[in-house]
Chain A
Amino acid sequence: MEEYMEKIAIIGVGQSKFVRGYPGSIRELAFEGFKEALEDAQIPVEDIDASIVCSAPEYDKQRSPSGVFAEYLGLTPQPTFYLESLCSSTSMGLRMAYSLIKSGLHDIVAVVGFQKMSEISSAESQERMGRGADIQWESPFGTMMPAYYAMFAKAHMEKYGTTLEDMALVRVKSATYGQINDKALFRKPVAAENFIDPNHFMSGPVSSPLRVGDCCANADGSSSLIVASEEKAKALSKKPVWILGLGAASASVNMSGRDQFTGLAVAQEAARQAYEMARIEPRHIDVAEVHDCFTISEILAYEDLGFAYRGEGKNLVKNKETYKEGVIPVNVDGGLLSKGHPIGATGGSQIRTIVLQLRDEAGEMQVDDPQIGLIHNIGGVGLYGTVTILGRQ
């Protein structure tokens, strides 16, 4: 007889608008996403047993933000702590919430992600982001995130014939949905032609082969998830969304330790774990959010997650299979490319989108009757990776 596995659910999700230059402090920013999640869960704040605050450090002056937020959000005297894995912090926070509840230590846990990046200049922010890589051996060469992902783009283009046009099509798709997401930073339409128009800002070179339009933008934002035990979820929530699979992995921080530049090993490994835990295959996924920090990242994700064979990721976007009406809709909320990427809030925003999709509450972005959704969230240049599978049942 199979042992009964207690399930864990997400019963509330929220996020702030992702903006440039948020006119408030980080605790006020965190409040926005948390308030929405709490209202969504329809529970009083006292019901939350513990909180996990997630972000990447060094973008603001506050050290140890969890205690500050716990007080501001009304989460004291319950335990709170800080968790970081760069851009995958909130999805790693969900993994931690799952284990805290599964262990029986807590029944309801809040995961609060945030990032306020606008207090420093873009160049300073790139320098800090670059320090999410190997500061001893790589940063002294003048590295930054677009340059790292550009090396993956270059290798993928060389090996599989992926083109600059293919990458532009990822941005075109992203903008299609960014326009209908009122939480997104970038809400204008984008045409593939913008990438070959020397007068259009999208075509500007950043780090070859990546152009401005291939890169997501820094933003300020917050997101929150309320996670509950099966008993609490059934008692408190009309539409709990269940955690079916969790995968997480790490890889060498220095590029010299990588064995591939045409995919991310962390995503492949995290996906394997998540599919195994959920006992499903890639073809069972009805809707997905992937970490499109760059256009190439989305193409790599299609392949790393098994939505496409290696080298064929570009065909999914060319054939519009990852559009809302396609076989596997991906980032139909605009993704990082349109929403903006407030590092510590991004994973929570991706999870929120899938939860809303599975509850049929995604409005104009809603795909047709999804049963199972997937979230792919990457920290650094494939330094950390998580894959989360959620379901209605």
Chain B
Amino acid sequence: MSKKKEIDDRFKKFGTVSFTSVTKVNDFINHLEQGKVMGTRCTNCERVYFPPRADCYYCLSSDVEWFEVEGVGKLITYSKLKYAPVGFENDLPYCIAVLDYGDYKVFGRIASEIPEEEIQLGMEMVTTANKLPNGQLNYVFKKP
């Protein structure tokens, strides 16, 4: 009798709609569940990667460790969407944005409770794990 192989598809929990289910950095989801947004660092050359990568292109090592996205990043740019792709209509309106942490940048969403009038480029923000109404997980940028 053949034994059905279990698929580790934790990544399907990422975002309102996930387009990926299996990745070598599936632990990202467990960290999110624990309230942590994490990237990876190559243990060999110490390059940091966000979004996290399983492989370091520089030294070809797959020996990476997790680090937490901590402290404040600067808001480089953002846009508020009035239309959404299929599957995201219920989230409207929402802002996508990029935060600069110096060693790395983070692309994500600005927390929906922050009114657009209070959003200024250059402002400091923090990256926070977030649970979506449909039970999915993502992360959002908030005021520190």
Chain B residue contacts of A258, Cβ below 8 A:
98, 105
Is residue B106 contacting chain A, with contact meaning CB distance below 8 A? yes
User: Which residue among A136, A137, A154, A261 has the maximum number of chain B CB atoms within 10 Å of its CB?
Assistant: A137
- A-B residue pair count with CB separations less than 8 angstroms: 118
Q: Are A256 and B20 in contact (CB under 8 A)?
A: no
Which B residues are CB-close (under 8 A) to A28?
Answer: none
A239 to B36, CA, bound (A): 64
Q: B49: shortest Cβ distance to chain A, in Å?
A: 9
Nearest B residue (CB) for A158: B121
Interface-side segment among A96-104, A139-147, A323-331: A139-147
- Residues from chain A with a CB closer than 8 A to the CB of B109 are 141-142
Residue A152 interfacial (CB < 8 Å): yes
Min CB gap B122→A, angstroms: 8
Are B76 and A155 in contact (CB-based, < 8 A)?
A: yes
A189 within 8 A of B: no
Of A123, A142, A152, which one neighbours B77 at CB under 8 angstroms? Answer: A152
Cβ of A146: which chain B residues have Cβ within 8 Å of it?
83
B79 touches A126 (CB 8 A): no
Closest to B14 in A: A140
A135 touching B138, Cβ below 8 Å: no
Could you say which residues of chain A place their CB within 8 Å of the CB of B88?
142
Given the complex, which residues of B lie within 8 Å of A206, measured CB to CB?
Answer: 81-83
Known contacts A147-B96, A150-B79, A152-B77; decide if A136 and B20 are in contact (CB<8 Å). Answer: yes
Contact residue among B50, B85, B98 (Cβ-Cβ distance under 8 Å from A142): B85
Q: Which of B1-38 contact A (CB under 8 A)?
A: 11, 14-20, 23
Cα(A134)–Cα(B19), bound, Å: 10
Q: How far is the CB of B9 from chain A (nearest CB, A)?
A: 13
| Distance of B74 from chain A, by nearest CB (Å) | 12
CB distance B82 to A207 under 8 Å? Answer: yes
Within B52-84, which residues are at the interface with A (CB < 8 Å)? 76-84
Bound Cα distance A256, B69 (Å): 13
Q: Is A208's CB within 8 Å of the partner chain B?
A: yes
Q: Are B104 and A123 in contact (CB under 8 A)?
A: no
Interchain CB contact under 8 A, B78 and A151: yes
B96 CB contacts on chain A under 8 angstroms: 141-143, 147, 151
Closest beta carbon of chain A to B7's beta carbon, Å: 17
CA distance A140 to B109 in the complex (A): 10
**Are A136 and B19 in contact, with the CB atoms below 8 A?**
yes
The interface size of chain B toward A, counting residues with CB under 8 Å, comes to 39
Contact of A144 among B11, B17, B77, B83 (CB under 8 A): B83
* Contact flag A138-B17 (CB < 8 Å), given A127-B85, A144-B84, A152-B77: no
Asked whether B85 lies within 8 Å of A207 as measured between CB atoms, the reply is: no
Cross-chain contact A154 with B50 (CB below 8 angstroms): no
A140 touches B104 (CB 8 A): no
Query: Given the complex of chains A and B, what is the CA–CA distance between A148 and B50 in angstroms?
Result: 18
Query: Does A256 contact B105, Cβ atoms closer than 8 Å?
Result: yes
In the complex, the answer to whether A256 meets B107 with C-beta atoms within 8 Å is yes
Q: Are A144 and B81 in contact (CB under 8 A)?
A: yes
Distance in Å from the Cβ of B124 to the closest Cβ of chain A? 16
A23 adjacent to chain B (CB < 8 Å): no
Contact A256 B106 (CB under 8 A): yes
Q: Is the CB of A141 within 8 A of B78?
A: no
A255 touches B98 (CB 8 A): yes
Residue pair A142, B82 in contact (C-beta under 8 Å) = no
B85 touches A155 (CB 8 A): no
Q: Is B138 a contact of A141 with CB atoms below 8 Å?
A: yes
Residues of chain A within 8 A (CB-CB) of B14 are 140
Asked if B46 is an interface residue, CB under 8 A from chain A, the answer is: no
Q: Give B residues with C-beta under 8 Å from A.
A: 11, 14-20, 23, 50-51, 76-88, 91, 94, 96-98, 104-109, 116, 121, 136, 138
> Can you name 14 extra interface pairs (CB under 8 A) apart from A139-B19, A155-B76, A207-B80?
A123-B85, A136-B11, A136-B23, A140-B16, A141-B16, A142-B17, A142-B85, A151-B97, A152-B77, A154-B121, A158-B77, A254-B107, A256-B50, A258-B98
